Chain A
Amino acid sequence: MTEVKTSTHSGTTPAQKPSDNELIARYLREQNPEYFTTLYRRYAGKVFAKCISMLGDEALARDAVQDIFIKVFLNLSRFSEQSSFSTWLYSITYNFCIDLIRKKKKISVILSEDVGRIGDEPEVDVPDSVLLEMKHDRLEKVLARMQEGDRIILLMKYMDDMSIKDIADFFQKTESAIKMQIMRAKMKAQTIYDELYASDPIES
């Protein structure tokens, strides 16, 4: 399929890329799936990365991307523009993957109910740099060994740069509970890293 372009006055002027909201408005007006395909090209990679990171399986992630985009396609008329399209899309992605994990693992909640319990705070707050400066192949192995809730919360914070408030809103928890959960998740990541690479702690 060809990329949808905006009309220009002269043929030589490079076409300006339409915004996400413009593409959605045009799709709803003209019902031309080309506009939707353009949105797919913009975001499919990010959605695929999120699905792999959460589901930990490439085949599952491929199917999830397809299902998520069809879900988005069917609900485009409900997109309210109160948030950006990417925020809406990522929220659908997170919810879809979390539902899939719940069904697969037969668990009802991703974050345990005792998140934020007083007196259970980690003693040490692992600096962000420990995770951010880890080699990506090692980080991938560490994340793969973490529990889903811990992994997702770290991805939201460090991969998607979501604010504590947005994460708290998503999980319907308090901000302090989310901060504590992130601290615990970082500590667990550090522990797993130490177990995996005790013999080779210095990254080369």
Chain B
Amino acid sequence: MRESNNSFKDLEALWEAGLPPELETRVASQATNLAVFGRVVELFMPDALQTVVRMIGGNPDAPVGGPVSGRRPAPEEWPDWRTPPGGKPGLGR
């Protein structure tokens, strides 16, 4: 080991050299597993994390599955159990 004029750095170099090489394999395989797991979750449950976040405490106005498709019902199509403004009966049955 090359001696420097800082014994702390010498000690650091000594400890660095003692890093077990098999640790890389362990960390790399764990990282690969986590990456694969993340991809599988993403494949079967797209936006899984965001969905959970919204379900727990997200914006209540934002639908969990994104905006609802299709047109909104026109006022004349209101169901008959609701009284429209003016008190006239609805158009239902």
Q: Which residues of A contact B (CB under 8 A)?
A: 1, 31-33, 36-37, 40-41, 44-46, 48-49, 52-53, 58, 62, 65-66, 69-70, 73-74, 131-136, 139-140, 143, 154-155, 158-159
Contact = CB atoms under 8 A, between A and B. Distances in A.
Contact of B7 (A53, A74, A132): A132
Contacts of A159: 8-9, 11-12
A103 to B, nearest CB: 22
Interface stretch (B24-32, B69-77, B81-89): B24-32
Nearest to B15: A49
Interface string B1-38: 00001111111111111111001101110111011001
A194 to B, nearest CB: 17
B7 A46 contact: no
Contact of A139 (B11, B28, B32): B11
Given A31-B39, A45-B19, A49-B12, A37 B7 contact: no
28 contacts: A1-B28, A31-B38, A31-B39, A32-B35, A33-B28, A33-B32, A33-B35, A37-B24, A37-B27, A37-B28, A44-B23, A44-B27, A46-B12, A48-B16, A49-B11, A49-B13, A53-B11, A53-B12, A66-B27, A66-B30, A69-B27, A69-B31, A131-B7, A132-B7, A136-B14, A154-B8, A155-B8, A158-B6
Nearest to A35: B31
Interface of B: 5-20, 23-24, 26-28, 30-32, 34-35, 38-39
A37 B15 contact: no
Contact of A74 (B8, B17, B32, B34): B34
Given A49-B12, A58-B18, A158-B6, A31 B35 contact: yes
6 tightest Cβ-Cβ pairs between the two chains A and B: A45-B16, A49-B15, A136-B10, A158-B8, A159-B8, A136-B11
B8 A48 contact: no
A37 B30 CA distance: 11
Contacts of A133: 5, 7
Query: Which secondary structure characterizes the binding site on chain A?
Result: helix
A139 B26 contact: no
Nearest to A139: B7
A62 B23 contact: yes
Contacts of B31: 33, 36-37, 69-70, 73
Nearest to B1: A136
A62 B23 CA distance: 8
B5 A40 contact: no
Nearest to A143: B11
Contacts of B23: 44, 48, 62, 65-66
A46 B5 CA distance: 19
A52 B7 contact: no
